[in-house]
Amino acid sequence: MSSDVTARTSADPVPGPRDPYPSGPAGDEPGFHDVSRETGPDPADALVDDTPIARAARQAVETMGRAAEGLPRPAETRVMVVANQKGGVGKTTSTVNLAAALAMHGARVLVVDLDPQGNASTALGIDHHASVPSIYDVLVEGKDLAEVVQPVVDVEGLFCAPATIDLAGAEIELVSLVARESRLQRAINAYEQPLDYILIDCPPSLGLLTVNALVAGREVVIPIQCEYYALEGLGQLLRNVELVRGHLNPHLHVSTILLTMYDARTRLASQVAQEVRDHFPAEVLNTSIPRSVRISEAPSYGQTVMTYDPGSTGALSYLEAAREIALRGIAAEAKGA
C-alpha cells in the first residue's frame, strides 16, 4: 500500500477542494470541484472541530443522509450497459459501486455480470463457482433470469446474476444459436421482478456477449480512465453502438461517460478529462471518480466500497455519480427522451 501514490493519509477522506494540504498543483483541475459541491468553509465551522478528519466525517454524514433520503426512481426500468472494450478502465468497479449506491438511494437494482472473469459477482460477494446457476445458463441454455438471480447480502434492493467461468465458452457457443444477439434481451424482457435499474457489466471485448448487452440495453455507460490512451478504441466502441442501433435496437444511445481513476495531481489526467469533456459535453458526468486505495481494496472483501468504507472519497464520489445518473434520467424522462 505504501508504494501506491494513493496510499491513505489523514487528509485522504477529504474530497479535493476541501483538502487543506493538496499534494500537487491541483487547483486548476477541470472537474476538480465535482466531488464536493461546496467551496468556501462554512462560517459555523469556526466554532467546531476543523481538522480534516472532522470535516470529512461531517461530509460523510451529510452525504449518507442524502442517500437515506432517497432519489426519484425512474418510471421504467433503465437498462444500462457498462461497456469499453479496454480492460482495466473501471467497468466492473463502476458497475458494482453505482449499483450499490443506487440501491442505497432506495432503488431496486440488478447487476448482470457478463464477464467470464466474474469480477462483479466477486465484488458483490456472490458465489460463482462453476456449478452455480449463472448468466451462462440464461444465454446458452435458455434458463429464466429469475432462476439465477441472487440477492446481495449487504445491500437491500441489490441483486446479481452471476457469471461463472462457463461464460468463457459462450462467445463461441452463441454463434450457432438462434437469435444469438438477442438472448439477453429476451431474458430481461421475461423477468418479472420490479426493477429500477439493470446494470450490465461487459467483458473487455466487442464480441457477442457485449452485442447481447447492447441489444438488451437502452443506455450505454462508458467508463474512461484518465490516462494517455484513454480515447483510443473509443471510436470502435461508438461505431458498434451505431451498428446495433441501426440494425437491432433503435433506442440505444450513449447516455453517460464516467471519468475514472482520476488523479488530480497529474496534469495529464486533467488534460485527458478536459479532452473527453470537450468531445462529449452532454454525456460526461460532472463527478469524476478519484484514484483511491479503498476502491481497489473493497473487492477482496467481497464488498463494494459503498459498504466497505462508506465515508471514503471513493464511496462519496460514486454516491454523487449515482445521484447525477438518477437525476439526469428523470430530466430525460421529462423531456420525453
x/- track of binding to ligand ADP for residues 135-174 (CB under 6 A): ----------------------------------------
Q: How far is the CB of 93 from ligand ADP (least distance, A)?
A: 3
- From the list 13, 15, 16, 90, which residue makes contact with ligand ADP (rule: CB under 6 A)? 90
- From the list 60, 81, 89, 206, which residue makes contact with ligand ADP (rule: CB under 6 A)? 89
Site residue total, ligand ADP (CB under 6 A):
17
**237: CB partners within 8 A, 6+ apart:** 83, 84, 85, 206, 222
DSSP run (H or E) holding 251: none
Residue 119 is a binding residue for ligand ADP (CB under 6 A): yes
Using CB atoms within 10 Å of the CB of residue 226, give its burial: 0 to 12 exposed, 13 to 18 middle, 19+ buried.
Answer: buried
295 interface partner picked from Mg ion, ligand ADP, none, CB below 5 to 8 A per type: ligand ADP
C-alpha cell at 237: 466502441
**Contacts (CB under 6 A) with ligand ADP, residues 224-263:** 260-261
**Contacts (CB under 6 A) with ligand ADP, residues 276-295:** 289, 291-292, 295
The per-residue b/e assignment along 238-266, b for 16 or more CB within 10 angstroms, e otherwise, is: eebbeebbeeebeebbbbbbbbbbbbbbb
Q: Cell 449515482: give the residue.
A: 322
Residue facing Mg ion at closest CB distance: 92
Using CB atoms within 10 Å of the CB of residue 289, give its burial: 0 to 12 exposed, 13 to 18 middle, 19+ buried.
Answer: buried
Interatomic CA distance for residues 116 and 203, integer angstroms: 7
Residue 221 is a binding residue for ligand ADP (CB under 6 A): no
Q: Which residues bind Mg ion (CB under 5 A)?
A: 91-92, 115, 119
Residue 296 is a binding residue for ligand ADP (CB under 6 A): yes
88 interface partner picked from Mg ion, ligand ADP, none, CB below 5 to 8 A per type: ligand ADP
**Contacts (CB under 6 A) with ligand ADP, residues 69-88:** 87-88
111 bridge partner residues: 160, 199
Interatomic CA distance for residues 51 and 19, integer angstroms: 10
Q: How far is the CB of 231 from Mg ion (least distance, A)?
A: 19
